[in-house]
Amino acid sequence: MSLANTISSAVPGSPSAGIRALARFGFAAKGVVYFLMGILALLAATGQQGGQTADKAQAVQTVQSLPGGQVLLGLIAFGLLGYIIWRFTQALRDTENKGSDAKGLVRRLGYAGSGLVYASVAWYAAQLAINGYADKGGNSRQHLVAKVLNWPAGEWLVMLLGLIIIGTGLYQLYRAYSGSFSKHVNDSGLPANQQQIVYRTGQLGYTARGIVLGIIGYFFIQAGRQHRAAAVGTTDEAFDFLAAMGPAALAVVALGLMAYGLYMLVRAKYPVLNGI
């Protein structure tokens, strides 16, 4: 191979190569965030110092106290930006071949929505990295729900959103036990026993994520039924809900979210990225 060909093959010169790199960085950043949420909740469940029930932003904030925390926060922010770009690429370029019919458009909008979920977390991490402090935005979700509740049929809209979130949680459970999640990881080069570990880790992770989403959806339904925006909760409140059931319930789901974080790190190393 000539020197020119060697350099050409080593440098990501196409937009697709750049998007692939961003996607992998994004999976890694998402994995770190979920692992942090899980480990903080596990410490809380076992009564250890430093444990807390935290949402994504609160988990990111814990990085600030680590050596090189500002740099790590910058990497997380950049990684989450990569995840957002990848999700919008899936939506706009239809990399998963979902099509342009009603069902396909809903799935593609779901990809974009998944990216937007992390936009506020990426911005929060970036502010911490640059300024050393950040405004989390207060209870912006509750403020938005409060506005919707004042719309005509607002209670029904909030409850419908809760049902959609619960449906998303059930879909995560389906993915866990059908094994469909595994198509996004190319682990064919790993020994069979390691492939099994990766698969079981993914199953545990998607199960825990489904449970948390189900609880968050329940909060939305209660907010609609009670016409009370304060009933809406995030992952933080979902952890508190589990803690009220007992430390064992919280610990199991915390381990599951740690597993999901690890699975995202594996996905970053062995991704299956269609259409780019």
34-58: pLDDT as tens digits = 999 999 999 999 888 777 877 888 8
**Residue position matching structure tokens 């409850």:** 159
CA-CA distances (angstroms) from residue 250 to 26, 48, 187, 216, 233?
27, 14, 30, 15, 16
CB–CB of 125/195 below 8 Å? no
Q: What pTM value is reported for the model?
A: 0.88
Tell me the C-alpha distance between 165 and 153, whole Å. 19
Amino acid sitting at position 165: I
pLDDT higher than 80, residue 133: no
pLDDT higher than 50, residue 10: no
Tell me the C-alpha distance between 46 and 112, whole Å. 37
pLDDT higher than 80, residue 126: yes
More confident residue, 113 or 132: 113
DSSP assignment, residue 217?
H
Rg of the Cα atoms in the chain: 20
Q: What pairs with residue 271 in β-bridges? A: 185
Average pLDDT for 9-21: 64
